[in-house]
Amino acid sequence: MITNILLGVVWVAFSMIAYTQLGSLPAQSAMFPRMTILGMGAAGVLLIIDTLWKYRKGRFKSETTLTKETLIFQILIPATMLFVTYFMLRAVGFYISSFFLVVVVFLYQTYRAGGVYPKRRQVVKSLGVGGLITGTMYVIFTLLLRLPVPNGSLF
């Protein structure tokens, strides 16, 4: 229970600090980060409320300790994915990095949910979903909103 409340407080505090940093951005460029940060803050508040609500109703499960499996599959691998995407963002730009992240997360979730390595069908499906999501972001951010997206050193 304490970890959920602390995580909620950290999310709210981070979103408040990050929100103050958006003041120097142009209004149109700050719109998406502002909505994302507000969503993070709302998620933190909802996490706190949900935890307190479940505790009050007596339905809160006791906390488990951090296991090796949890550390690897829920912390290290996702963190590695995000770091690789960050460095890809600097090299190849926003859209290629986003496509990579969507495909890798799709395949990783397929592996974690089913316990088997993704087959050809899942790989093709992940490429389609990645292309669809990346294409949608391109249409929304670049064509409709005309927002600048991060360019990489290669593209």
On whether both 101 and 116 belong to a single domain, the answer is yes
Task: State the pLDDT at residue 146.
Answer: 85
Single-letter residue type at 127:
L
On whether both 47 and 71 belong to a single domain, the answer is no
Q: Which domain holds residue 21?
A: 1-64
Q: Rounded to whole angstroms, how far apart are CA atoms 100 and 41?
A: 27
∠ CA 92-94-99, nearest 5°, is 90
Among residues 64, 88, 114, the one where a domain terminates is: 64
Task: State the pLDDT at residue 75.
Answer: 84
On whether both 122 and 139 belong to a single domain, the answer is yes
The reported pTM is 0.68
Q: Rounded to whole angstroms, how far apart are CA atoms 42 and 50?
A: 12
Task: State the pLDDT at residue 63.
Answer: 63
- pLDDT of the chain, 155 residues: tens digit per residue: 778 888 899 999 999 999 998 888 888 778 888 999 999 999 999 999 998 998 888 876 666 677 888 888 888 999 999 999 999 998 999 999 999 999 999 999 999 888 889 999 999 999 999 999 999 999 998 999 888 888 888 76
On whether both 54 and 70 belong to a single domain, the answer is no
Q: Rounded to whole angstroms, how far apart are CA atoms 56 and 19?
A: 32
Among residues 44, 64, 84, the one where a domain terminates is: 64
Classify 63 in phi/psi space as left (phi over 0), alpha (psi -120 to 50) or beta.
beta
On whether both 32 and 102 belong to a single domain, the answer is no
On whether both 11 and 72 belong to a single domain, the answer is no
On whether both 12 and 42 belong to a single domain, the answer is yes
Query: In this structure, are residues 109 and 77 in contact, taking their beta carbons and an 8 Å threshold?
Result: no
